[in-house]
Structure 1
Amino acid sequence: MKKSLLLILISLASWSVLAQTKLIEEVTKTGDEIVIPYKKYQLDNGLTLIIHEDHSDPLVHVDVTYHVGSAREELQKSGFAHFFEHMMFQGSENVADEEHFKIVTESGGRLNGSTNRDRTNYYETVPSNQLATMLWLEADRMGFFLDSVTQKKFEVQRATVKNEKGQNYDNRPYGRWSEVTAGALYPYGHPYSWLTIGKLEDLDRVDVNDLKKFFMRWYGPNNATLTVGGDVNPTQVVAMVEKYFGVIPAGPAVEPMKLEPPVLKSDRYVSYVDSNIRFPAIMFTFPTVPAFHPDEAPLDCLAEILGTGKSSYFYKKFVLTQKAIQASTFHPASELSGEFTMFVLPFPGQTLSAFEQEMRAILDEFAKNGVSDDDITKFKASRESDLINGLASVSGKVSQLANYQTIYGDANAIKYDLDRYLNITKEDVMRVFNQYIYNKKGVIQSVIPDAETAPAQPDNYEIPTSGESAFPTTDYSGLSYSRPKGDKFDRSKRPELGPNPTIKVPDFWKEELANGIKVIGTQTDEIPVVEIQLTINGGHKMDAYDPKKSGLASLTAGLMNEATQNYTSEQIQEELRKIGSDISVYAGTSQTTISASTLVKNLDRTLELMDEVLKRPAFNQEDFDRLKNQQLEGIKAGQKNPGAIANLVFDRLLYGDEHIYSVPNSGIEETVAAITLEDVKNFYDNYYSPSVSELAIIGDIDRKTVLAKMEFLKTWEAKEVKIPELPKAKPSGKTTIYMVDKVDAPQSEIRIGYVTDMSYDATGDYFKSYLMNFPLGGAFNSRINLNLREDKGWTYGARGYFSSDDDPGPYTASAGVKANTTDSAVVEFMKEISNYRINGMTDSELAFMRSAIGQRDALDYETPGQKARFLRRINHYDLDKTFVDEQNKIIRNVSKKELNTLAKKYLKDDNFYILVVGDAATNRPKLAKLGYDIIDLNEKGDVIEDGKIDTQK
């Protein structure tokens, strides 16, 4: 690894101002070491610029990370950083409202932002010719943002944030546990004592001027790192960054924040009631060390030993014995402190107080047993594999650089990061166990489904909501904003694009084995990994042969992840963890997939274990009983979750009771209860066959070598398997509202749609309907989302889409909305869909679709996972490589008239099912005024008439 420190002057041909930019570090790769090469600069205004050059794909990823998160907020003024994550997508001086998403999307790119306790970042991945536009966008919201902030935007985004809180916290099972833990673990006023999303009452008490002051204090270039990675020329990038960011003045100086982690003098018992859950929960949380502290790595190892994998203490004590549906431990660490959490979801009928004692007993047992050599080997292998796989995409590499620079203070921290995990010892783990966890005080939280369920212990700590704070406040006086000056170009004009990059569809090879397996593969040498996906056609679809045992495909796949004839469940997973590999089996709607991921150096051993999983499942009674019970309890738990209820009932409406797709992949209570171990064995014997299988291989290995390693598949004996022909879905009648009562729900879940007659096709009506729907419901800037989220602030997100595979699938429009807007949201959904069907798309929407989808290919083939999905589609549908060219030709040439004709044909707004899951007492009277018939259903989709359930309707 080579570093050089230089001072350079860059003269910009497009800008007459001579500015000084320091090249302060250069990191190069000199051998096989794990490193992310980059050049790091600093502008006069304090902006840190990091450039990673990678020409493997015609992509560029831009990340702007501001060193401000919820930790820079103050008591009773929480949620500001997260609020700005929303606000900074709402336009700036030279970028119109909602234009940010539109520009990036029509560039063929993807974008988002995120906020945590310590930083906020905004990022885009786009074709490389769009770089100047991305820098122009980011510079405009860094330096030319405040004048565009209005009270109206403030109010809309405040409503959107409230919806996000309702959807992701208040209305989600166990959604408030992190909020309760934060309040109980940290002292009153500590910036970690509230969540990043903040408290709604804090947002209610502030106005737009409070937000502006927060921005002026923390969002200057001297508190930001701009990281650019991908198919770029560093000299050109520096010139662009100087041009767009150079005139933005530095903000107030930002000093590092240092606070000591909290120390608890006694255990704090807290609890809350969550009506959305079936299983009570108990969790211990202990305060630990900040991110990158020397003790973070051994604490992470301790968490894995105690609660990750089938050999872990928590799995064997609780899950294997069928005492709990889930049990784990984890150790997230932030800039100021870390939190070690032990988490158990017991099956109903047991006391949380007993589980508390059993969790404490596990710590006693670990203190006695200590750490084994295998524990250390498995942990190191998994960390090495995770880090390497994280470098598969340019966005992954850029994100690592940005995080290292912002939180650790050194972008070149990857070697330190990996070494601290590879160098830990058993003694390190025992030391941190005794120092931070064993016999130490923590927060013990109980989440209970009702007031009749007892917490682990009576609450002995009340989270304070008022009082004096010992933590410093920020001086916001003297802050002022003036528009940056000094540009020698017209910033209002969007930059011209460079030449379109050449998009390379991955080269691939095909082979068909003698037993019928269709193989497809491609070689890629960016990282030393191999990904293998074996798909066995059928999946849940095969449950159609015995619908009374629906869920059998899912349960069979689950058991394939357990014991084999030569390994126990624990043994085979431990063998995989020793080499940092993963093998998993999952049954989807129409396929069962066996996937394997491994470092190249461990491929042979991974394939030996894949052979074992595929050909020699043990199907033990003990494993079967445990997984069946988990599947049943998962189904019951879903009956508490409004979103899960909506999905289940909507499928039953769409398909009718005679169709297998009216039942979820996991089945329903009655069908899973009927499944026996003999059923599982027969399902495997009858339907797992190479004659209906396809194989995709992606990685740093050539065709000849990898095929030679596939001998175990060549000897897999074929049998005749017939995939069932499914009946047509139940015809939809006139548009009707179906209501499921979720008493006092703060949000309503809405689903609207019907089953089309379109199966998947690559270039026909199905593909063209995707193009047609894109401006209506397929993008952030779609009509549906702009209306319900951005204009009204009723939802965190609304969408519409077509979804088909081998069989026709539905058109679905969906959203979770504020309860008091339920009827109005249904009106707006139907208005947007009907207007679009009648009047079609506009010329500008057609142009937007063409630009957005026409440039998307650059992002679709980057990582092994993306390549796998692409190759699987080609293999399954027997597509020629030129199908991508044909799709691009359709995108360029399809007429607005043809797409509008498809809208009239497939947006059947007079034959929709409209499902609402929400509080019936408040919503039903208002829905009744919309003019549709209303039918009441229970949470399983049965019709309720005069208070009675009629399962025949």
Structure 2
Amino acid sequence: MTLSLAAKALLCGSVAVSLLGCQSQNPVEPTNETLQEQQVHIPFEKYTLDNGLTVILHEDHSDPLVHVDVTYHVGSAREEVGKSGFAHFFEHMMFQGSEHVADEEHFKIITEAGGTLNGTTSNDRTNYFETVPANQLEKVLWLEADRMGFLLPAVNQTKFENQRETVKNERGQRVDNQPYGLRSEKNGEALYPAGHPYSWLTIGYVEDLDRVNVNDLKAFFKRWYGPNNAVLTIGGDINADETKEWVEQYFGSIPRGPEVAEPEPQPVTLAEDRYVTLEDKVHLPLLQITYPTVYARHPDEAPLDVLADILGGGKTSLMYKNLVKEGIAVQAGASHPCRELACEFQLIALANPQNGMDLGALESVIDSTLAEFETRGVNADDLQRTKGGIEASTIFGLQSVSGKVSALAAGETFYGKPDLVQEDLERYRNVTAEDVMRVFKQYVKDKHSVTVSVVPQGQADMAAAPQNFEMPPRQIPQQAQPAETVETVSIEDDFDRNVEPAAGPAPTVEVPEFWKTKLAPAIDMVGVTSEETPTVTLTLNLEGGMLLDPMDKAGLAYITAAMMNESTQNYSNEALSNELAKLGSSIRFSASGRYTQVSVSTLTKNLDKTLALLNEKLFSPAFLQSDFDRLKARMVQSLQQSMRNPDYMANRAKELVLYGDETRVSLPSSGSLETIANITLDDVKAFYDTFYTPSHASIVVVSDLTQVEVASALSFLSEWQVRDYEIPTFSDFPQYEQPHVFLVDNPNAVQSVVYMVKRAMTFDATGEYFLSRLMNFPLGGAFNSRVNLNLREDKGYTYGASTSFIGGKTLGWFEAHANVTAVNTVDAIKEMMKEIKNYRENGITDAELQFMQNAFTLSDALEYETPASKVAFLRQLLAYDLPDDYRDQQTMMIKNVSTKELSELAKSQLNIDDMQIIVVGDAASLKEPLKALGLPVETLSLN
């Protein structure tokens, strides 16, 4: 199911809401028994400053943290033709310092305060947000107010040029250098008329970014970033009266900006079918059919969302049945993404080349699927699945303050109503079968659409139909020429904005109280009982995973887990998926790295029914040949497609360089084309019989149930037969006498993926590995690290650069990584090497040590908020058999570590001569320039 704007935010699993007995601003604690009878609301208080700034406060004292969101009602839809990408560009500029905050200090201040931050831009809005310990709230408000009211004096040509290069790198990394990356741009150009605000991507056209100057950007800020076009939302462990005083102090004197009219919806229609062909670096041809529909919160939006779920929402959908299960497509689905001005109904399928069908034949299957739906109609389970999913995702949303804040901000920004959750629940609960059939006939059946065919380069004849649409030459109006000088407004205050507010007393943070037990027959279980939401989040971990694969059948654990998600002895694949969907529950088997994992999430009231389905899936798999053949074919096609992805190629190269080509750990969890070909269904059955056993099993659970209640619910596992097995270790890895450059060819790539790697320490919680991660933080572990500030902020070579130590039980490595502009590949490598060498030779500074210590210790307030974060903590506790107080030990180590100790670690762990360099890029243009590094350059072929 796909939902719109605030609706989609309010109902998705990562968004939090609160349950109330009635519409009130005072939270009421519900019991599980009365939950069904209550309405769902987010408690809030809303008011407006004299300058037009809307302020929303939400109190949640369950964790000692606050989340602040400033949403400006400006996205790419407010841009002028010829000046695309400005809203996104300004997202970057808002982190470049303001009059009273130095360049690059915003990230540093928040990170050092133990918080996290970011900003995002969409077609319709831009937001900036921080999550920090509760005692840091005043500091966040000071920072956000400074860039709202005092940004322009700090904006200069140098910063403008730097961030323009960063935005270009972001476009290169996410759009131009990615398979299918241009699909959305081509679809928008064909679907919307020239000049329509949705006819270009949020990131914009490079030619527009090159055309404008710093004054254009300043003019855009003055037009749209006034307090009267913003919503400030603050949630968490706050004192409302104190917060209001701070809001008035820091934001109250900022003058209103120009008046902003609410945008009018601009849905579109098509007079004819439009076909577009995109030749790309892909193995799997893709077909996307898009019908224009309505706009966000139009009465027909909800039934169109339900229609999308019926047609293409997972294994119960018609597209799955007709395309994926039949082997015609590797993936297929339907969605109804909605935005403020217009919505789109999309049908998407990744073709399976093994069936020999071109995209025209695939389109015919989709057409017949639509015809089947019209004949079949809407059944009761279709609607029950939708309503079950909405209820579950809403209640799971109770788990995050940031989610509640984001939902309130979206509701206010777009509709002037912060709390829309109950209204949206009712919208979807009230959808009828007749509504769904009506919108199908009104917007989809026999209607004109845009069909985008993405085909391998040189194979345009595979397209669904010959291209009949070409985007006309862009007409750039005169006003798109560079702007003149932009004046700044003087603001007077009765306090000194140069003074950074001091933090309040640090909140007391304690590791969640957890229980441990042994579940018969031999399963270690650890859990947290939390009454914040009536939900259960459970993981069953079987140690071994891919390490148990025979080398010549790498991928066996992966495909076995995939088969466990398929048919059982008593349920078809579709029937089991249907039952889970009606409950709003999920059960998923997966195998990655050292573990096979079973992830379960459910409302507590549905736990018994969900566990009954887990019992069925775990102990009664059908292992049908038809399921196996389909999954194996899909794995093959997915691997072949992955080899067109530069980031995947770089990770494959990294594994080969670190571990050679003759060991299981040098291959991905899913194996290689050669090893997958060797796997049979009998191998899967044997793997299940041998390794799906409790002898190396553990369970982590976070719920509102007691230890006794959880153990009772899982008592069916007591009949599980114990069969012991050994987990192999690996050690015979390549040895290098000197650094090499391993070059992987990605022809005509606009960016290069660069890694510098070496094998390093395995995981420990209180030893050298842990200290090395502390040591690495100033080098490449934070936004304000040396490597990132050099390559991104100073040079503009990359969208982001980092270094890290990564360790598991038996393997560990160090890596430095960046995706860099192709022409800057060699210079970027030199700068990475320079920063690592300098850090090794001169060590960490006192200021960097203090920065690291504050960031690591103060962030504890954010560590245990959600069930997912609690599960991660408990899994690590079990996986490494850590003492219960290991977090306390780590805190003491952080506080007491010295610059000398960390500098000595840098000397021992960061020797450039031990590192190998990997470059995935255009070999024809890079091979000779890379020789300037003075190292052997070897071409590396991937399998």
TM score, norm. by length of structure 2: 0.95
**Aligned-partner Cα distance in 2 for 1:257–1:724:** 62
Gaps of 5+ in 2: 1-22, 31-37
Alignment of 1:514-533 (within 5 A): 514-533=520-539
Contact 1:324 1:346 in 2 (8 A): yes
Q: Is the 8 A contact 1:163 1:796 kept in 2?
A: yes
- Residue of structure 1 in register with 2:672 after alignment: 668
Task: Note the residue ranges of structure 1 that are not aligned, 5 or more in a row.
Answer: 1-24, 941-953
Q: How far 1:358 moved relative to its partner?
A: 1.5
Aligned equivalent of 1:102:
108
514 and 528 in structure 1: CA distance in 2 versus 1, 3 angstrom threshold:
closer
Alignment of 1:104-503 (within 5 A): 104-275=110-281, 277-348=282-353, 349-454=356-461, 455-467=463-475, 480-485=487-492, 487-503=493-509
CA contact (8 A) 1:66 1:224 kept: yes
8 Å contact from structure 1 (residues 511, 520) kept in 2: yes
Q: 2:94 aligns with which of 78, 81, 88?
A: 88
For residues 395 and 211 of structure 2, the distance between their equivalents in structure 1, rounded to whole angstroms, comes to 46
Distance in 1 of aligned mates of 2:889 and 2:749: 47
Distance 2:654 2:210 in 1: 36
CA distance in 2, matches of 1:711, 1:902: 48
Match of 2:857 in 1: 854
Matched residue, 1:718: 722
Q: Which residue of 2 aligns with 1:802?
A: 805
* Contact 2:190-2:469 within 8 A present in 1 as well: yes
Report the secondary structure of 2:51's partner residue: coil
1-side partners of 2:923 and 2:595: how far apart?
Answer: 38
Task: Give the drift of 1:33.
Answer: 2.6
Task: Report the aligned-residue RMSD.
Answer: 1.7
SS in 2 for 1:285: strand
The residue number in structure 2 matching 1:646 is 650
Q: Can you list the C-alpha shifts for 1:116-156, whole angstroms capped at 9, x where unaligned?
A: 00000000001000000100000000001001001010011
For residues 833 and 848 of structure 1, the distance between their equivalents in structure 2, rounded to whole angstroms, comes to 19
Amino acid at match of 2:53: L
Q: Partner amino acid for 1:267?
A: D
Instruction: Establish whether residue 630 from structure 1 lines up as the match of residue 639 from structure 2.
Output: no
Cα drift, residue 387 of structure 1: 2.2
Match of 2:5 in 1: none
Equivalent in the alignment of 1:79 = 85
Deviation at 1:761, TM superposition (A): 0.9
Is the contact made by 1:40 and 1:48 (CA closer than 8 Å) also made in structure 2? yes
Equivalences, count? 910
Instruction: Tell me if structure 2 keeps the 8 A contact 1:521–1:696.
Output: yes
Classify 1:483/1:715 alpha carbon distance in 2 versus 1 (closer, same or farther; 3 Å).
Answer: farther
Q: Secondary structure at the match of 1:215?
A: helix
Shift of 1:472: 12
Partner of 1:900: 903
One-letter amino acid of the structure 2 residue matched with residue 154 of structure 1 = F
Aligned to 2:6: none
* Cα offset, 1:448, TM superposition: 1.1
User: Distance between the aligned counterparts of 1:155 and 1:104, measured in 2?
Assistant: 25
Q: Is the 8 A contact 2:82 2:480 kept in 1?
A: no
Deviation at 1:477, TM superposition (A): 9.9
AA aligned to 1:73 is: E
Asked if 1 retains the 8 angstrom alpha-carbon contact of 2:65 and 2:132, the reply is: yes
Indicate if the aligned counterparts of 2:81 and 2:476 stay in contact, CA closer than 8 A: no
Secondary structure of 2:25 counterpart: strand
Question: Which residue number in structure 2 is paired with residue 928 of structure 1?
Answer: 931
Larger relative contact order, structure 1 or 2 (CA cutoff 8 Å, min sep 6): 2
Q: Secondary structure at the match of 2:84?
A: coil
**Distance in 2 of aligned mates of 1:195 and 1:28:** 42
1:512 aligns with 2:512: no
Letter in 2 for 1:688: Y
Q: CA-to-partner distance for each residue in 1:782-823, whole Å, 9 max, x for gaps?
A: 111111111111111111111111112111111111000011
Q: Kindly indicate whether the alpha-carbon contact (under 8 Å) linking 1:27 and 1:412 is maintained by their aligned counterparts in 2.
A: no
2:520 is paired with a residue whose SS is coil
Q: CA deviation at 1:668?
A: 0.5
Letter in 2 for 1:336: L
Other-structure match for 1:882:
885
- 1:216–1:480: 8 Å Cα contact kept in structure 2? no
TM-score normalized by structure 1?
0.94
Residue 565 (structure 2) pairs with residue 565 (structure 1): no
Contact residue 752 and residue 912 of structure 1 kept, 8 A: yes
Q: Is the 8 A contact 1:689 1:721 kept in 2?
A: no
Q: Quote how far apart the aligned CAs of 1:476 are.
A: 9.2
2:706 alignment counterpart: 702
Structure 2 contact 56–232 (Cα < 8 Å) conserved: yes
- Structure 1 partner of 2:663: 659
Letter in structure 1 aligned against 2:571: Y
Query: What residue is the counterpart of 2:25 in the other structure?
Result: 27
CA distance in 1, matches of 2:863, 2:592: 22
Alignment partner, residue 947 of structure 1: none
Q: Displacement, 1:725? A: 2.3
User: Measured at CA, do residues 663 and 187 of structure 1 come closer, stay the same or move farther in structure 2, by a change above 3 Å?
Assistant: same
Q: Distance in 2 between matches of 1:712 and 1:908?
A: 53
| CA spacing shift, 1:604–1:413, aligned 2, 3 Å | same
8 Å CA contact retained: 1:26, 1:39:
no
Deviates further, 874-883 or 291-300? 874-883
Aligned AA (1:250): R
Q: Alpha-carbon deviation of 1:473?
A: 10
SS in 1 for 2:201: coil
Q: Could you tell me whether the CA contact under 8 Å between 1:143 and 1:483 is conserved in 2?
A: no
Structure 2 counterpart of 1:890, which letter?
Answer: M
Percentage identity across aligned positions? Answer: 51
2:941 alignment partner in structure 1: 938
Shift of 1:504: 2.2
